[in-house]
Amino acid sequence: MIKGISIVSVWVLDQESAKEFYAGKLGFSVTNDLKLDNGMRWLTVRPPGSENQELLLMDPLHSMLDEETGQQVRALVAKGALSPGVMATSDCKGDHSTLAGRGVEFTQEPADRPYGVEAIMRDDSGNWYSFTQHKFLGD
Amino acid sequence: MKPADVSSLRMLRRARDRIDRDYADQIDIPALAAGAGYSREHFIRAFRAAYGETPGRYRTRRRVERACELLRSANLTVTEICHLVGFTSLGTFSARFAEITGMSPTAYRQQAAERGGPAPIPGCFMLMWRTGLPAQNASLPEKPGPAAGP
């Protein structure tokens, strides 16, 4: 049976800056930071409250993509068109306040929704996430 | 116009994020342009090239989208909502609202009430549709459309 998604790939503009953002600002742990033989840097991070989910922070210019496609992906990331998904939190308002204090950009303040409390966050590259305290998660 | 480079796109995205955040303030386009390091005309052209609409139009859509949410959920008058989302004139608000949603704010509120509970779609997805909002009388799709950014 399929048990979930263990690694989500996230395109970033600069892996060093992304590492600092996810580890330094969001408090993720760095689970792998390896240079592969093909020149790719395998950089994964894990959210503090998760045991089996990781983000793979990928540089489009050093990936399976050709140069032109890589540049297109970078443009999409930079203009803010891409979203890896929803980050689940147990305390949207509290975490928003903490993270905004660390300089994390939010485009929408926490607001009550039928499904919970939601804010919208950007990472340092321009990827956006829904930042949601789901009703069923509580806290 | 050739595609903007990554650093220009980042500046444009920051300007657009500012509209998302500060839609209710009287942020003007020349100030956004200056913040992004562009002249007003160049900014409007570059923004449209990147996002398919002018910054002014995007600001209007953002305000109307916020107004829709308040009309659905908040116990406020249409005039209060008009001012809360950043319009200074009720006439302009109603006209822009009707352009985008195809109905007046009051009619939108009535329809939302008749439809019952909120749509099971995260609010952030609502703005991402190219058209901003479901067309008048259209039933809500069961899944969000492709994301284009909040």
What is the model's pLDDT at position A62?
A: 94
A98-108: pLDDT as tens digits: 999 999 999 99
Per-residue pLDDT reduced to its tens digit, A13-58? 999 999 999 999 999 999 999 999 888 999 999 999 998 899 999 9
Angle between helices A67-78 and B6-22 (to 10 degrees): 20
Beta-bridged to residue A118, according to DSSP, are: A111, A132
Q: Which of A101-115, B66-80, B121-135 has the lowest mean pLDDT?
A: B121-135
Residue A107 has its nearest CB partner, among B12, B147, B150, at B150
- Is residue B104 domain-shared with residue B69, that is, in the same domain? yes
Question: B120 touching A, CB under 8 A?
Answer: yes
- The predicted structure's pLDDT at residue B117: 63
Tokens of B106: 């009051």
B141 touches chain A (CB under 8 A): no
**B17 shares a domain with B44:** yes
Q: Which residues of B touch A106 (CB under 8 A)?
A: 21
Tell if the CB–CB gap between A118 and B149 is shorter than 8 Å.
no
Kindly provide the b/e burial profile for residues A76-100, where b requires at least 16 CB atoms within 10 angstroms of the residue's own CB.
bbbbbbbbeeebbbeebeebbeebe
Looking at the structure, tell me whether residues B62 and B122 fall in a common domain.
yes
Tell me, what's the pLDDT at A117?
95
User: What is the maximum alpha-carbon separation in chain A?
Assistant: 48
Contact criterion met (CB below 8 Å) for A45 and A22: yes
Same domain, B62 and B121: yes
Residue B81: domain span? 58-126
Average pLDDT over residues B29-49: 94
Residues B11 and B68 in one domain: no
Q: Which fold has domain A7-134?
A: 2,3-Dihydroxybiphenyl 1,2-Dioxygenase; domain 1 (3.10.180)
Provide the token pair at A117.
């409390």
Alpha carbon A55 to its chain's center: 7
Tell me, yes or no, whether B141 lies in a domain.
no
CATH number assigned to the domain comprising residue B103: 1.10.10.60
Q: Would you state the pLDDT for residue A113?
A: 85
pLDDT of residue B3: 59
Cβ-based contacts of A115 with chain B (< 8 Å): 120, 122
| B126: pLDDT strictly greater than 60 | no
Q: How much is the pLDDT for B2? A: 56
List, in sequence order, every beta strand (DSSP E) within A52-127. Answer: 54-58, 85-88, 106-113, 116-122
As given in the structure block, the two tokens for residue B56 are: 């002014």
- Is residue B32 in some structural domain? yes
**Band of pLDDT at residue B26, cut at 50, 70 and 90:** confident
Q: Residue B19: enclosing H or E segment and its boundaries?
A: helix B6-22
Q: What is the nearest CA distance from B113 to chain A, expressed in angstroms?
A: 15
Say what percent of chain B tops pLDDT 70: 75
User: Is the predicted pLDDT of residue B66 greater than 60, yes or no?
Assistant: yes
Confirm whether B81 is domain-assigned. yes
- Residue A45 to residue B54: CA distance in whole angstroms: 37
The domain total for chain B is: 2
In this structure, are B78 and B122 located in the same domain?
Answer: yes
Let me know: does A106 contact A121? Beta carbons within 8 Å: yes
- What one-character-per-residue DSSP string does A9-30 give? EEE-S-HHHHHIIIIIIS-PEE
Same domain flag for B32 and B70: no
Residue B140 lies in a domain: no
Residue of A26, A33, A32 whose CA lies nearest to A49: A26
Amino acid at position B31, single letter: A
With 70 as the cut, is the pLDDT of residue B89 above it?
yes
Q: Quick check: is B36 in a domain? A: yes
Strand-strand pairing, A7-11 and A54-58: parallel
Domain final residue pick, B52, B70, B85: B52
- Asked if B147 has any chain A CB less than 8 Å from its own CB, the reply is yes
Task: List the strands of the sheet with A116-122, edge to edge.
Answer: A85-88, A128-134, A116-122, A106-113
pLDDT for residue B143:
43
Question: Is residue B63 included in any domain, yes or no?
Answer: yes
- Which residues have a Cβ under 8 Å from the Cβ of B34 and sit 6 or more positions away? none
Task: Look at residue B90 and tell me if it is in a domain.
Answer: yes
State yes or no: pLDDT of B122 exceeds 60.
no
- DSSP β-bridge partners for residue B30: none
A13 in reach of chain B (CB within 8 A)? yes
Mark whether B38 and B69 lie in a shared domain.
no
Which among B9, B20, B120 is the nearest to A78, CB-wise?
A: B9
